[in-house]
Amino acid sequence: MSKEARYDQTFLAGNSKATLLVRNIGQLCTLDTGESMGPRRKEEMTQLGIFTEAAMVVSGDEIAATGPESELMARLFPDGLPEDLPVVDAAGRSVIPGFVDPHTHTVFGKTRQDEYERRIKGETYLEIAAAGGGIHSSVRDLRGRSEEELVELATVRLREMLAQGTTTVEIKSGYGLTLADELKMLRAARTAAESVGVRSVRTCLAAHEIPHEYKDKRRDYVNLVTDEILVQVKAEGLAQRCDVFCEPTVFDLEETLIILTRARDLGLSLTVHADELASFGGAMLAARLGANSADHLIKIDEQGRQALAASNTVAVMLPGTVFSLGLKNYAPGRGMIDQGCALALASDFNPGSCPINSMPLVMAIACTQMRLLPSESLVASTLNAAWALGLNDEVGSLATGKKADFLILDGDDYRLIPYRAGHNPVESVFLGGCKVC
Amino acid sequence: MSKEARYDQTFLAGNSKATLLVRNIGQLCTLDTGESMGPRRKEEMTQLGIFTEAAMVVSGDEIAATGPESELMARLFPDGLPEDLPVVDAAGRSVIPGFVDPHTHTVFGKTRQDEYERRIKGETYLEIAAAGGGIHSSVRDLRGRSEEELVELATVRLREMLAQGTTTVEIKSGYGLTLADELKMLRAARTAAESVGVRSVRTCLAAHEIPHEYKDKRRDYVNLVTDEILVQVKAEGLAQRCDVFCEPTVFDLEETLIILTRARDLGLSLTVHADELASFGGAMLAARLGANSADHLIKIDEQGRQALAASNTVAVMLPGTVFSLGLKNYAPGRGMIDQGCALALASDFNPGSCPINSMPLVMAIACTQMRLLPSESLVASTLNAAWALGLNDEVGSLATGKKADFLILDGDDYRLIPYRAGHNPVESVFLGGCKVC
């Protein structure tokens, strides 16, 4: 029996209760384009499952039905609407799934606008690091803060992100680099996300950098990550994923393999910071290990591209970072879509290389600078991003049975999201069928 | 007598009444760095006249005094605050002048996201025009709309701009291209600005394009502009400025000279769309005619740069347009500041080439892509932009005697404005001393 028929039957039998009706939707982008064995690729990335003059029924925290309003009304409510059914009038506007941001470093202490200014003045990464900047500066800062302070800071940021439509967010550790500080970060991420109500996936990125105190004993730090940090993170259920910053200057391929293999054995899913600064084989490794995603990919080579195209490892691109750093070369998003890679977008929100946490702006940068179509940028920010997090059964589209996380926009065309860069296109946000802003 | 001493005397004598006190300002960027014979240049563009732990006194709709809070209190209110004086607590945040956006096409009908998508697909400007797109598409659309419709659309947009800190906005005509439609646009601009309360400067850009019906009689259209449109616009007081789109494919140098000379004779001030598509001498002409500004300048050559550096004609750059079009080459802002040109930033908000109307995002693009320092981007978006509009005596800084148009930011450092691209940094907006959002 099709999902649709199952829901109809349930409704008509009175066994399932509609708890919310959204009607008068000018353009409903369900992204529900049928079963798929994997993330969307090629022309699938332009298919948005659009209904016009549409409606959507929510039951509990799930999508119960979507379709043209008149058909939906006749099918599900042949005797008229139940009197107690809450109804939201979308006033002809667009409704889309909530954004899924699959790569952020939302838990941090101080902002680093001083480095932003230094970079503009022409200082190099090494000069900035020598002056106390870079990741180590956030590590020093974070280690000195309490968990409560981190929760407070992250809560404000998650509220901002929610107001711009991010309903599911990945949050990494990686500014702690000790067992206690990594656990502190992940607990802060969990608490902040729960307090805001946004769905979160947490990733242990203890392998973000070699901490200064291990500079001359790298292998000891790798052991700390594999034998203590990951074990404890898993034991406490603080993260679902493990990430490694795999670059020539950070963790090499062998170290990356050791850490990710251990994480996989512990039952964590995998992702890799890959091929950002150099073509280094990170994407290939990610594909080989069956990682959910390989992220950054600015310098990915042809072999890496082919490996991703042949796998279900999602290519997560972070164009906000390239923009914020004032670089000229973006990851080859257009070419990789054409080649069959499944692409997702993420903000990479962090205090150093990308202070942007707005998915609408990330979509705009992807469209204008990487030549993604607006439709592709939407699939990349919702359904494929959900695949990148392994949450594709729960969120990322408005398919029947998924969580009712959706946005009512302030316009009647999803293309206005990237077109109107710098404007918050979100009129209201629903999480699990409840209006949260 | 200095302005400061004059105000002190007036206050102490009880002849001038403080009507608002803003206190507990963490960082007050007055941009009041002393008398200047012209717009800010070179290192002057980094000087923000900053006070910390500061306060600001407003009298009527004007700035009465700014300075360190303790000094200001002791000097102006030695006997304590008047009981009836409204006080705003800035809670340690930054206060800056309201943004001045000196180049917009805010009055238009439909948005053109279809062209945005076509461009991403690789269609050329000519192909898009052949398919009914481009400026002519907005002309057709605008001619079919009533003044009331245009007012309604522009009002929504001006409210959005105000909420992101734009307190003074230039608005051009140029989608009418008939006497009646140009007047309709300018009236709509005036009415919308008045209804929102934002300060506006209106510019007649009847010379935006040769309308289709004059395709084979260009000179007749130039005559229509000089002999009818500009005359009537001036007679009705609908615009203060005249602009010409001076490019090889639009109005040539001779036509531009004819139109601008006529406008100057009528008492309008001048600006030029110059050197955007080709190095064409537009900037040099603007400098020679004593225009307030030359705008775009992506292709400006060395002669043009020198001409601007040697004049008080402000170089208005529109990096949002380059970003929105997905182009790689920005106007040479960094080099032109170093060369001594007075630089301003504007949104170029229009439905075709730049749907961005957020000055904070424009500043971010200028910083990351043109390598302006955050301080330079702020001067370029306030004081120098006011010079570009000839409003430097009224707005653009928080100097004593200027209009009390200011923003309380949501952070404590003005550099967070460009750093946090995609985030609206404006906590509240004051126009003439009144909180408007």
Q: Do B107 and B192 meet the contact criterion of CB atoms below 8 Å apart? A: yes
Nearest Cβ partner of A416 from B111, B323, B369? B111
Q: Do A153 and A138 meet the contact criterion of CB atoms below 8 Å apart? A: no
The length of chain B in residues reads 437
A3 touches chain B (CB under 8 A): no
Residue B325 exposed, middle or buried by CB count within 10 Å (0-12, 13-18, 19+): middle
Q: Tell me the C-alpha to C-alpha distance, in Å, between residue B87 and each of A353, B60, B67.
A: 39, 14, 16
- Residue B113 to chain A, least CA–CA distance (Å): 6
E strands in B7-123 = 20-29, 50-59, 62-68, 87-89, 94-97, 99-101
Name which of A217, A210, A267 is nearest A244 in CA terms: A210
Cβ neighbours of residue A22 closer than 8 Å, sequence gap 6 or more: A55, A56, A57, A58, A87, A88, A90, A95, A406, A408
Q: What is the DSSP string of B256-311?
A: HHHHHHHHHHHT-EEEEEESSSS--SHHHHHHHTT-SEEEE-TT--HHHHHHHHTS
What's the CA gap between B63 and B157, in Å, rounded?
A: 28
Q: How do the domains of chain B map onto residue ranges?
A: 6-98+397-435, 100-388
Tell me the average pLDDT of chain A: 96
Name which of A125, A224, A131, A127 is nearest A176 in CA terms: A224
What number does CATH give the domain B100-388?
3.20.20.140
Query: Which residue out of B94, B112, B120 would a mutagenesis test of the A interface target, given it has the greatest number of A Cβ atoms within 10 Å?
Result: B120
Name which of A375, A287, A297, A385 is nearest A345 in CA terms: A385
**pLDDT for position A93:** 98
B358 touches chain A (CB under 8 A): yes
**pLDDT for position B131:** 86
**pLDDT for position A367:** 98
Contacts of B323 in chain A (CB under 8 A): 368-369, 421
Q: pTM for the whole thing? A: 0.98
Chain segment B30-64, per-residue pLDDT in tens: 999 877 789 999 999 999 999 999 999 999 999 99
pLDDT band at A349 (very low <50, low <70, confident <90, very high): very high
Query: Which residue out of A368, A377, A415 would a mutagenesis test of the B interface target, given it has the greatest number of B Cβ atoms within 10 Å?
Result: A368
Residue A1 has pLDDT above 80, yes or no: no
**pLDDT for position A34:** 78
The length of chain A in residues reads 437
Q: Do B90 and B54 meet the contact criterion of CB atoms below 8 Å apart? A: no
Cβ neighbours of residue A116 closer than 8 Å, sequence gap 6 or more: A324, A355, B367, B374, B415, B418, B419
Q: A with B: how many residue pairs have Cβ under 8 Å apart? A: 115
B46 touches chain A (CB under 8 A): no
Interface of B with A in 106-125 (CB under 8 A): 111, 113-114, 116-117, 120-122
**pLDDT for position B2:** 67
B214 touches chain A (CB under 8 A): no
Nearest Cβ partner of B422 from A356, A368, A416? A356
Are domains B6-98+397-435 and B100-388 of this chain identical in fold? no
Q: Do A313 and A39 meet the contact criterion of CB atoms below 8 Å apart? A: no
Interface confidence (ipTM) of the complex:
0.97
End-to-end CA distance of chain B: 36
Contacts of B424 in chain A (CB under 8 A): 424
- Residue B416 to chain A, least CA–CA distance (Å): 6
CATH topology of domain A6-98+397-435: Urease, subunit C; domain 1 (2.30.40)
Residue A12 has pLDDT above 80, yes or no: no
Chain position carrying tokens 């300002």: B25
Chain segment A173-207, per-residue pLDDT in tens: 999 999 999 999 999 999 999 999 999 999 999 99
Which residues of chain B are under the pLDDT cut of 70?
1-4, 12, 15
**pLDDT for position A15:** 66
Q: What is the DSSP letter of B38?
A: S
**pLDDT for position A132:** 86
Residue B47: strand, helix, or coil: coil
What's the CA gap between B37 and B164, in Å, rounded?
A: 30
What's the CA gap between A69 and A55, in Å, rounded?
A: 5
**pLDDT for position A130:** 85
Element (H, E) at B407: strand B406-409
- Residue A105 to chain B, least CA–CA distance (Å): 15
Q: Do A343 and A44 meet the contact criterion of CB atoms below 8 Å apart? A: no
Helices (H), B301-403: 302-309, 319-324, 333-338, 359-370, 374-380, 383-388
Q: Do A54 and A96 meet the contact criterion of CB atoms below 8 Å apart? A: no
Which residue in B has a C-alpha nearest to residue A115's C-alpha? B419
Residue B132: strand, helix, or coil: coil
pLDDT band at A220 (very low <50, low <70, confident <90, very high): very high
B164 touches chain A (CB under 8 A): yes
Contacts of A371 in chain B (CB under 8 A): 120, 122, 326
Three-state secondary structure along chain A? CCHHHHHHHHHHCCCCCCCEEEEEEEEEECCCCCCCCCCCCHHHHHCCCEEEEEEEEEECCEEEEEEEHHHHHHHHCCCCCCCCCCEEECCCCEEEECEEECCCCCCCCCCCHHHHHHHHCCCCHHHHHHCCCCHHHHHHHHHCCCHHHHHHHHHHHHHHHHHCCEEEEEEECCCCCCHHHHHHHHHHHHHHHHHHCCEEEEEEEEECCCCHHHCCCHHHHHHHHHHHHHHHHHHCCCCCEEEEEECCCCECHHHHHHHHHHHHHCCCEEEEEECCCCCCCHHHHHHHCCCCEEEECCCCCHHHHHHHHCCCCEEEECHHHHHHCCCCCCCCHHHHHHCCCCEEECCCCCCCCCCCCCHHHHHHHHHHHHCCCHHHHHHHCCHHHHHHCCCCCCCCCCCCCCECCEEEECCCCCCHHHHCCCCCCEEEEEECCEECC
